[in-house]
Structures are given as C-alpha cells and as structure tokens.
Structure 1
C-alpha cells in the first residue's frame, strides 16, 4: 500500500507521475472515492501523464470512453455509477475490455466487482480539504 498526498490541484501532475511509475504490469486501475472526491479529475491528469491527446471526460452516460495516447495505444475509461448490476457492464463487453491488456481506468468499480480481474490496482481518493486529497494505492494479485 502506498499513500500520495495531493495538497492542491497544482500537485495533480506530480501525483499522476507517481501513479504511472507504480503501474508495473497492472492494466486495471479501480478508482474509489465519494462523489466529488476528484476521481475524474485525477484520471484527466493521469491520462495527460500517459500521453493521451484526446479530451478526457466522464463516461457517465456512455459507460466507457476510449482515448488514444500519442503512440496510438487505447486507454479505456469506465464510469459504472449508473449501473444497477454487473450484467449491464457485461452487455457492453466490459470483460473483453478488462482482458484486452490495454489500460482500463474504472470509476465506481464496486458496481462490477464480480467482473474485475484479480490483478489490479485500487486507488482510493479521500477529501482532506477544499482542494487537497489523499490517494491510497492498493495492489491486488501481483
């Protein structure tokens, strides 16, 4: 387990760089945190750090957005907040995305828990102040 302090929005790029360095062989990143904790904001910073050239936005209604890095590698961004059961994620082929070996960034992973691979990182964002956050990285399966 690793903890990263994010004192302000200006510190997001440095925190994203630390997460990128911590990826290892993980391609599944599960983002936990209360509504408004900054999951999508952090994902935007992480995508910039990964070289994503596309506009990054929450896939709340589409469930999944696909972005491309400068090297044209796909990055999949999921938001499962609106799901009532994992079967809804299965209908969009979530398991195939998860097995693709491409980076999958998942908001509200608890809604699809039975579909998640064992090998993953869970990143939990906690609000510690008006613009400060704490990010805890837990590793599963490696």
Structure 2
C-alpha cells in the first residue's frame, strides 16, 4: 500500500513526519510542504519517484482530478497526502491513514490504520 494519508490540524506535524519518512526512504531531494505547488516530486537513491501532496489550498476537488491525481495514486509509487479531506472521492479503495494529534508543543499522538473502502 503506497498511498498514505496524513490527517491532523495545521501545525500538527504532518510535513515533519513526511520529511522523516522520506529520509528513511533515502530521498535525495530536500523535502518541503507543497502548499502552493500542490505536489512535490522527490527521487529516492534508487531512482524511484515519491509524490507529496498538500490539498489545503484547493477550492474544488476537480482541481485534483485535472492535475492527474488518479494517475499518481495508481502509479505504484509512494504518495503522501496532506489535507485529503478535500478530495475524498478520489482516494483509492485502500490506503494507510496516519492521524496526528498534538497534545502539547513537543508531544504528538500518532495512530496508523489501513482503510479499505
């Protein structure tokens, strides 16, 4: 399962967690939030692409469809998605949901589960 949905309030640490995961995947590129570009593409040391989405700023889910979200999700490559609640109709049938809650400034609770729709 290579589509991972990251859920949490603004500032919960979604991008920070994605950066840490990308480090473990040996991503060669700098990892940053794609808030304005909607998607960033990174490359692993094996040459595999990893896609990082941030749908916070889209106003219409059709924008995701127009950018080819279905092709990204079916590519077989890792797709890390922030603010997926903006595009629920385009999520694949099966994905990992990583929910992040911040109790304190320095503490996070993370719950991970598989979603089968």
- In structure 2, the residue matched to 1:63 is 38
Q: Where does residue 76 of structure 2 map in the other structure?
A: 101
Matches within 5 A, 1:1-142: 26-141=1-116
Spell out, residue by residue over 1:36-59, the C-alpha distance to the aligned partner (whole angstroms, 9 max, x if none): 000001100010011111100000
Which protein has the bigger helix share?
Answer: 1
Which stretches in structure 2 are left out of the alignment for 5+ residues?
A: none
Rounded to whole Å, the distance in 2 between the matches of 1:101 and 1:122 is: 17
What is the SS of the residue equivalent to 1:77? Answer: strand
Q: Deviations over 1:95-116 (max 9, x none)?
A: 1101111100000001010000
Displacement, 1:81?
0.2
CA RMSD of aligned residues (A): 1.1
The Cα of 1:83 is off from its aligned counterpart by 1.0
| Partner Cα distance (1:52, 1:98) in 2 | 19
What is the distance in 2 between the residues matched to 1:108 and 1:55? Answer: 21
TM-score w.r.t. length of structure 2: 0.97
